[in-house]
Amino acid sequence: MQIILASNNQHKIDELSVILSSFGLPISLISQKTWFKGNPPEIEETGSTLEENALLKAKALHAMTSLPVIADDTGLEVYALDNAPGVISARYAGEHGNDGANRSKLLQELHGISERSARFRTVLHFLNDETSISVDGICEGYISKIEKGDNGFGYDPLFIPDGSSMTFAEMDSVTKHSMSHRARACHALGKTLAAYVKGKS
């Protein structure tokens, strides 16, 4: 079964492929960029929650391709900021995808605040003609007072997961993926899809 992943991020595709293959699922993932031959559609994320955005993207791509789709949305939720930036994590400072500006704004908002607990949350949504499945993965931690590390992307230089003294950006990819929110969501989806495939067979 070929599934379109609603992403152009090859790292996401590789990570999800490895995890899903561990469940013995007869599937292969293809990025939307590859499917649309380098010209993927722009799907506006207008949902008010991570769940709504993941479902919105899954429905849009499924309607365009008629293929099964996996879509995701991820947010950083800082408890002292009423779970902001949350669903607007990628555009927290105004411009979508400006990671440096987003981190700077977060540090500014937390200036003088000692309670810096936070969590990363990823929602994955699988959709085909027969079923609609939503799962999430959560990684608890806290926000560093300074940026540390050169790996990763987004808020990785600021997020320190519980049980570690390093930010995600200080970790190698193997270490990060052993505990990350996305990996946990991938494992949850793998278990659910394996049960779904077994039920159909």
Return the H-helix or E-strand segment holding 87: none
C-alpha span between 68 and 60 (Å, rounded): 11
Catalytic: 73? Answer: yes
Given a contact cutoff of 8 angstroms between Cβ atoms, the answer to whether 156 and 144 are in contact is: no
C-alpha span between 51 and 48 (Å, rounded): 8
Selected catalytic residue, list 14, 72, 73, 162:
73
* Close Cβ partners of 80 (under 8 Å, ≥ 6 residues apart): 110, 113, 115, 116, 117
C-alpha span between 95 and 104 (Å, rounded): 13
Residue type present at position 44: E
User: What amino acid positions are annotated as catalytic residues?
Assistant: 73
